[in-house]
A and B are shown apart, each in its own frame.
Chain A
Amino acid sequence: MKHKTFFWFFLPTASAMILFIALPIFSIVIQSLFTPHDAVIIVTENCDPFGCKQETTIDQEATRDLRKSEPLGKFVGLEIYKDRGHLAVNEIKEIWVESNNFAEFRNNIGNLPFYRAMAFTLTFTFTVTPLMLVFGFIIALAVNSLHQTLKGLTIFFSLLPMIVSPLIGSLVLFWMIDSRGIIGEALQYLFEDPDLSLKASTGLTWVMLIVYGVWHAAPFSFVVFYAGLQTLPMDTIESAKIDGASRLQQVWYVVIPHLMPLITFVALMQLMDNFRVFEPIVGFSAEAHAQSLSWFIFNDLGGETRLLSSAATSSVLTIIGVSILLFPVLIRTWRDFNEKSAK
C-alpha cells in the first residue's frame, strides 16, 4: 500500500484513538501530578436552627483568586503516587524496618489500601480468567454436540448471565445470599450453622465474588469458542479418528490448538476486564472485604470528599497494572506475528 493511501485509510482510526484514548490518558497523567491549592481558611459566624457559633470555613474569594491564577492547581510531582492511599512508599519503608519476619511484613502491608486492593484484584483476575476459559470451553463443546433443534434454545439460555447487566445481576444474587435470603438460608441449613453469613466473612465474600465473576463471564468465552468450533477442519478430526484418537485426545491435540488464537484473545480481554473489577463490589456491598482500584476511583470521585488527584492517580496506576498484566500476552502475539511474516 502506498504511504499516502495508508495515511488516508488510517486517519479516521488515528484521530478517534487520539481523541478518545490518548488525550484522556494524557489528561489523567497531568491531573495526577497536581493537587488543589492550599485552602484559605477563615473563621466565621455561622447560624443554623440550633444556634450560632464560630466555625471554620473556606474563604471562597481568596481561593477563587488562587484558582484563577493557576487553574491546574499546585504541582506536587509524584507526591500523590507515594502517599498512603496509593503506593505508600514511606509506610512500606517503616513497615520493613519494624517487622520481625516476612509474615508480619505481609500482614502490615495488607493494611494499606492499595496493596489490600491489589491482593483481591490479582486473586480475582487469576482465578476468574482461567475458570471462565475452562467453563466457556466445556459449554461450547457440550452445546456443539447437541442436536440441531436444541442448539438455539441452549445458546440463548447460556448467554443470559452476560445479558443481565452486572450491577443488576450482582444485586439479585446479593439478596439471594443474604443471611435471610434463599441461598443464605439454604447454606445455613446445609451446614447446620445458623450464624453462617457469606457477607460477614472475607474469605466467603471473595469466593462469592469469584463465583459471580465466572458466572457472568463464562458466556463470553463460550460464544467465542462456539464460533471457533464452527470453523473446525473436519478432515483433521476424521483422520485423528482413523488414527484411533479418543474424544479427549481429539480435543487436546486438534481442537485446542485450532482455537489457540481465540483463547489468547479471550484471555486478553478477560485479564483486562477482571483487573478493573468494579460492579460486583458495589452490587454486593462488598467494600468491607474486597476493594479494587476501580472502586477507589469511584469512591474518590463521589461523596463529600472528591479527591480528584487521587482518582487520577488510581487511574494511571490501573493503566500501568493492565499493561503489566498484558505484557506477556502482547510479547507472544508480537513474536507469532514476526514468525508468520518471516515465513
Chain B
Amino acid sequence: MIKNIMRLVVASAIAVFAAPIFADGHGCKISARVSIVGNEFPAIHAVADGAKVCKGSEVKANLTADHQKINVAGMSGNPAEYTSAIIANSSIVALMNNDVIRPLDDLVAKHGKGLKKNQLITINGKVMAVAFMANAQHLVYRSDILEKAGLSAPKTYEDMLAGAKIIKDKGLMDYPLGGAYKAGWNLAQEFTNMYIGHGGEFFKPGSAEVSINNAKGVATLEMLKALSAYMNPDFLTHDSNATSAEWKAGNVAMMNMWGSRMGPLMDPEQSTPTVVKTTTLGDPMTVGGGSTPATTLWWDGWTVAKNISDAEAEATFIAMMNGINPKRLDDKMMPLAVWLIEGFKPGPANVGVAAAARMNAIPYPMLPYQGLLHSALGSEIVDFMQGKEDAATALADVEAAYTAAAKEKGFLN
C-alpha cells in the first residue's frame, strides 16, 4: 500500500516537473542500456536529453567536440561501449569504413512510425542512420555595424572583404570578420566550402586520386588568407565555440557560421543585448563569380552500433526516437536547428540554412576517402595561412600528405 502511494507521489512529481516532455501523457520505456556519443552543440543536447527521459534502464550521453576521436574506438569493441553515435554526413563514413554500425530497416519498420522518408539515410539500399536536422554554414552579420558603415549584407565573399575594409578603415572594429579557422578540421572545412564555391572537384572522376592543386585551389587559398587578415590574430586557434564567444562579446561584424549556432548568438541569456538585437542572418555567400554557394549542406543523425545485443539496439532505437519525438519540439527546442522532424516551423534563426538548401548548395561529400583529404588540408594549409609558403606549395603538400595516407588505407596503390 505504502509502496503504491510512494509510486503515485513519484509519478505525479514527474508528471508535474516534466509536463512539457510528457505532454502526450505517457513516457518512453526501454529495457536495456543506452549510451550515446556525439558532438557538443545545443541541438544535439536537446536530442540526447530527450533520450535520457526514457525510463527502465540507464541512458548515458557523452557529448564532446572530440566525438570523432572516440566514436569508432568506442564502438569497435564487442560489446560496444556506445550503443549510438550521433554523426553527420562526414563522420558516418568513418563508422561505415570500420563496419561498426548496423542496418536499421527492421527497427524502422517496428518502431519508426512517424519518420519521414527523407530522414532515412540509405546506403546501398539499407537504412544506416536516421537524420534529424539539417545544417549549413551561412552569413551572419551585425545590422548596426553594417548600417554605420553604409553597407548592405554581402552576397559574395568579395563584397564581404570590401565591407571588412570599410568597417576597419572607419574605425568601427579592429577585426570585423570572424570564422572558425582553427588549424585542423575547422580550417579544412572552410577550404572545402570555398573550393566548392569556386566550382572545384576534389578528386579525379571515379577515383581516389586527389586533384586540388589547380587554379581554383589557389584562388580558394588566396581568398581564405585575404579574409583572415581581418580576423582576430589568434584565428588559427578559434573553433566554432571560440568564434561564437567573440561574436557574443560584440567583437565581430560578419562571419560565415553554422546554422546550428545561431540560436545561442541571439539568446539574451548568453549574448550581450546589442548583439542579440542586431544579429541578422543572411544567405550563404558565393565566391569568384560562381553561382554555387560557398558552403556545404549537412545532415546530423543518429546510428545504432553493430556490436551490441538486439535488446540494446532496440532500446537505443526507442530512446533515440524519443529524442526526436515531434512532441518535444517546444519553444525551447524549435529554434535550435533546422529540424527534419514532423511539425518543424522555421523561425528567424533558421533562415540561413533554408537559404542554403534553396540555393542548391552541395552536400558535403560522403566519400570513404574524403576524411583523409580533410585531415591533410587541416594540417598542410596552415603554413600558407601563416605566410610561410605559397599557395601552390601548400596544395602540393596537401596532395602529398593525402596520397601517403590514402596509400596506407588501401585506397590508392
Contacts and interface: CB of A to CB of B under 8 A. Distances in A.
Interface in B120-154: 120-125, 131, 134
Contacts of B372: 304-305
Contacts of A64: 99
A288 B183 CA distance: 6
A306 B76 CA distance: 12
B323 to A, nearest CB: 17
A179 B236 contact: no
Given A49-B118, A55-B366, A304-B371, A197 B408 contact: no
A324 interface: no
B383 interface: yes
Contacts of A331: none
A38 B413 contact: yes
A46 interface: yes
A46 B366 CA distance: 9
A56 interface: yes
Interface string A175-203: 00011100000000000001101011010
Given A47-B122, A60-B99, A304 B367 contact: no
A148 interface: no
A199 B386 CA distance: 11
A37 B183 CA distance: 30
B184 to A, nearest CB: 7
Given A48-B299, A83-B407, A199 B122 contact: no
Contact of B375 (A35, A44, A305): A305
Interface in B162-216: 174, 182-185, 208
Most buried by A among B232, B386, B409: B409
A241 interface: no
Given A44-B124, A202-B386, A304 B299 contact: no
A50 B382 CA distance: 32
Nearest to A85: B404
Interface in A314-338: none
Interface in A22-61: 35-39, 41-42, 44-50, 52, 55-58, 60
B410 A48 contact: no
Interface in A195-232: 195, 197, 199-200, 202
A289 B386 CA distance: 9
B234 A199 contact: yes
A274 interface: no
Contacts of B249: 180
A48 B296 CA distance: 14
Contacts of A294: none
B122 A302 contact: no
A80 B407 CA distance: 9
Given A36-B408, A84-B400, A304-B93, A56 B368 contact: yes
B344 interface: no
Contacts of A42: 124
Interface string A281-312: 00011111100000000010111111101100
A285 B400 CA distance: 24
B90 interface: yes
Interface string A52-82: 1001111010011000000000100000100
B31 interface: no
A111 interface: yes
A299 to B, nearest CB: 8
Interface in B325-340: 340
Nearest to B383: A111
B303 to A, nearest CB: 13
Contacts of B184: 287
A59 B283 CA distance: 38
A91 interface: yes
A111 B397 contact: yes
Contacts of B125: 44-45
B3 to A, nearest CB: 46
A304 B90 contact: yes
B230 to A, nearest CB: 12
A292 to B, nearest CB: 13
A45 B124 contact: yes
Interface residues of A, number: 56
B299 A50 contact: yes
Nearest to B72: A306
Given A202-B386, A306-B98, A288 B237 contact: yes
B69 A113 contact: no
Given A50-B363, A83-B408, A304-B93, A194 B174 contact: yes
A50 B182 contact: no
Given A83-B408, A304-B93, A305-B375, A41 B368 contact: yes
B229 to A, nearest CB: 11
B295 to A, nearest CB: 13
A56 B388 CA distance: 36
Contacts of B208: 41
Given A111-B389, A199-B234, A301 B69 contact: yes
A35 B412 CA distance: 12
Given A200-B234, A288-B382, A288-B386, A303 B131 contact: no
A53 to B, nearest CB: 9
A85 B410 contact: no
A285 B237 contact: yes
Contacts of B379: 113, 287, 299
Nearest to B367: A56
B218 interface: no
B91 interface: yes
Interface string A86-106: 000001000000000000000
Interface string A109-136: 0010100000000000000000000000
7 contacts: A60-B96, A180-B232, A197-B232, A200-B233, A285-B183, A303-B185, A303-B375
Given A56-B368, A63-B99, A84-B403, 15 more contacts: A39-B368, A45-B124, A47-B118, A49-B118, A80-B408, A174-B237, A179-B233, A194-B174, A199-B236, A285-B183, A288-B385, A301-B69, A304-B91, A304-B375, A305-B94
Give the 7 A-B residue pairs with the shortest CB-CB distance, closest first: A302-B69, A304-B371, A197-B233, A288-B183, A44-B124, A38-B410, A285-B237
Interface of B: 66, 68-70, 72-73, 89-91, 93-94, 96-99, 118-125, 131, 134, 174, 182-185, 208, 232-237, 249, 251, 297, 299, 340, 357, 363, 365-368, 371-372, 374-375, 379, 382-383, 385-386, 388-389, 393, 397, 400-401, 403-405, 407-411, 413
